[in-house]
Structure 1
């Protein structure tokens, strides 16, 4: 092993807004004190209950991905496991997500900044 993942960083126009979106989806603390970085207008974080950290970085000329258009690739996406897709969907929609595609075991949405993410049905 060379290292360990410190956090996943998503570019966006408004870091604080996207941090609030993902904190509402995943739980956790927004901008918890952490010696590794300083939250400000350019940077926000969510420390999820499971220990993972998502960070959000302001990019002036941010151009969101346009899933599934390969001319605007998704760059990355998050899979978020949920026990019940039908119960989780109205919750993420109320937070500003937009449904893009639906299958039996997963659904694809975009967050308020345009990043794709999937709600994935928990196994068993």
Structure 2
């Protein structure tokens, strides 16, 4: 039996509202805000939470001196269509050249790496 269960995946960032909006547009869900803490309640998934981190320095991928710290794997039906939408929302491509792979790596607007993965 596990000791604990996942309550939320928390991302530090400079602008919690903006980053929650990015992920809400990317994966759906409802944004709830209370006392500067922003949650994204994702249907059928874990809560993504966003907290303000003054002086936040984004991770760099790949870089041992500014490691990614964590990343999200987001499952999609169509990699090309999902990539187009993610880029339109403000994602930055990090490793997308090898189109034969089942995943592509991006950064969200605050610099956190995430992968779009084919189902």
Q: Same fold (TM over 0.5)?
A: yes
- Give the match for residue 82 of structure 2: 88
Is there any run of 5+ residues in structure 2 with no aligned partner, and where? Answer: none
Equivalent residue, structure 2, for 1:9: 10
| Matched position secondary structure for 2:34 | coil
Is residue 121 of structure 1 aligned with residue 115 of structure 2?
A: no
State the alpha-carbon separation in 2 of the partners of residues 43 and 96 from structure 1: 22
Q: TM-score, normalised by structure 1?
A: 0.89
Residue 106 of structure 2: aligned partner: 109
- Counterpart CA distance in 1 for 2:23 and 2:106 is 13
Post-superposition Cα deviations, 1:30-49, rounded to whole Å, max 9, x if no partner, equal 11xxxxxx624x32110001
Cα drift, residue 92 of structure 1? 0.5
Corresponding position of 1:34: none
Q: Distance in 1 between matches of 2:37 and 2:69?
A: 19
Name the structure 2 match of 1:97. Answer: 91
- Please list every run of 5 or more consecutive structure 1 residues that lacks an aligned counterpart in the other structure: 32-37
Corresponding residue for 1:39? 34
Cα shift at 1:77: 0.2
RMSD: 1.0
Structure 1 residue runs of 4 or more that deviate by more than 4 Å after TM superposition = none
Identify the residue that residue 23 of structure 2 maps to in structure 1: 22
- Between structures 1 and 2, the one with greater helix share: 2
